């Protein structure tokens, strides 16, 4: 089974159910040791992965406001659902795009894609239970933009997507849960617990590969991380940061001190 062709097919599928099915199938083949990671398959620049016609993508500044009203909370649920859908594509692109990596790299990111698909399905089902569906509200494309911009190098991707964008989820989840606890949508608290625990593992995987690549290239991790932040984001990262969760995800003491000094 050609890992790169299968991951590309899942990445480019615009049908939600099919994308989930293809991602789950990729994980099943991986678990059964039926994948090979050395076959050739063309690498294409992908400005937009497969996604349904809705949600309509708008600039971040134009994303609908999300207050603590019922509709505001539903918009928050939808926003998280959109993040998890994008996260499937982020993981699949890591599998598809970067070649000549150890088998473990592909196995790790296939597992991440599978778990992101699980997260999306949990939230999407809850939206359906509330008589809404994925695509009912506008969303932004920030996660994919960073993925596209770091497609030139696996180290840059590992530095910025799992360790910045996904790690941000570790920082904000507890506050979001606190909003849901006192609402009639408190089922989201348990769903977010599942996501939070899995996301620690995803960020940890990003840290592992970032540090492994830094070691292979004889680069000092904190120096190259700061350079990439300046190149792609332009400003220092803003807190607050969930230091305990980031420790569990294997951020170094030096990195945590750097973040807290930002």
Number of domains making up the chain: 1
HSE on the CB side for 37, CA within 13 Å?
A: 21
User: Domain range holding 154?
Assistant: 3-36+62-260
pLDDT, one tens digit per residue, over 209-235 is 999 999 999 999 999 999 999 999 998
Structural domain includes residue 149? yes
Q: What are phi and psi of 49, to 5 degrees?
A: -75, 175
Percent of the chain past pLDDT 90, that is, above it, reads 87
- Report the alpha-carbon distance of residue 66 to residue 73 in Å, rounded: 7
User: What is the arithmetic mean of pLDDT over 79-101?
Assistant: 96
pLDDT band at 1 (very low <50, low <70, confident <90, very high): confident
Tokens of 216: 């292979």
Query: What CATH number does the domain containing 84 carry?
Result: 1.20.1260
Write down the pTM of the prediction. Answer: 0.95
Structural domain includes residue 46? no
Structural domain includes residue 42? no
pLDDT, one tens digit per residue, over 8-54 is 999 999 999 999 999 999 999 999 999 999 888 999 999 999 999 99
Q: Which of 200, 175, 172 is nearest to 115 (CA)?
A: 200
- Report the alpha-carbon distance of residue 9 to residue 38 in Å, rounded: 17
HSE on the CB side for 165, CA within 13 Å?
A: 23
Largest distance between two CA atoms of the chain: 53
Structural domain includes residue 72? yes
Tokens of 178: 């606190």
- Report the alpha-carbon distance of residue 153 to residue 161 in Å, rounded: 12
Structural domain includes residue 222? yes
Structural domain includes residue 45? no
């Amino acid at each position: 089974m050609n890992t790169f062709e299968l991951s590309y097919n899942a990445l480019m599928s615009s049908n939600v159910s099919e994308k989930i099915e293809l991602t789950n199938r990729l994980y099943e083949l991986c678990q059964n040791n039926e994948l090979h990671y050395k076959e050739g398959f063309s690498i294409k620049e992908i400005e937009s992965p497969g996604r349904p016609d809705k949600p309509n993508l708008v600039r971040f500044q134009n994303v609908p406001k999300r207050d603590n009203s019922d509709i505001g909370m539903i918009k928050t649920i939808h926003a998280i659902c959109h993040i998890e859908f994008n996260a499937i594509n982020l993981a699949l692109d890591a599998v598809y795009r970067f070649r000549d990596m150890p088998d473990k790299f592909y196995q790790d990111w296939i597992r991440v894609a599978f778990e992101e698909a699980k997260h999306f399905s949990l939230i999407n089902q809850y939206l359906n239970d509330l008589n809404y569906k994925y695509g009912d509200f506008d969303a932004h494309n920030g996660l994919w933009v960073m993925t596209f911009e770091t497609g030139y190098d696996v180290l840059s991707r590992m530095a910025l997507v799992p360790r910045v964008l996904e790690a941000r989820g570790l920082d904000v989840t507890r506050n979001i849960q606190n909003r849901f606890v006192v609402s009639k949508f408190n089922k989201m608290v348990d769903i977010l617990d599942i996501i939070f625990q899995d996301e620690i593992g995803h960020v940890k995987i990003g840290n592992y590969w970032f540090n492994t690549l830094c070691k292979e290239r004889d680069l000092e991790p904190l120096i190259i991380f700061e350079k990439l932040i300046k190149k792609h984001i332009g400003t220092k990262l803003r807190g607050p940061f969930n230091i305990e969760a980031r420790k569990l995800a294997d951020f170094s003491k030096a990195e945590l001190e750097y973040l807290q000094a930002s």
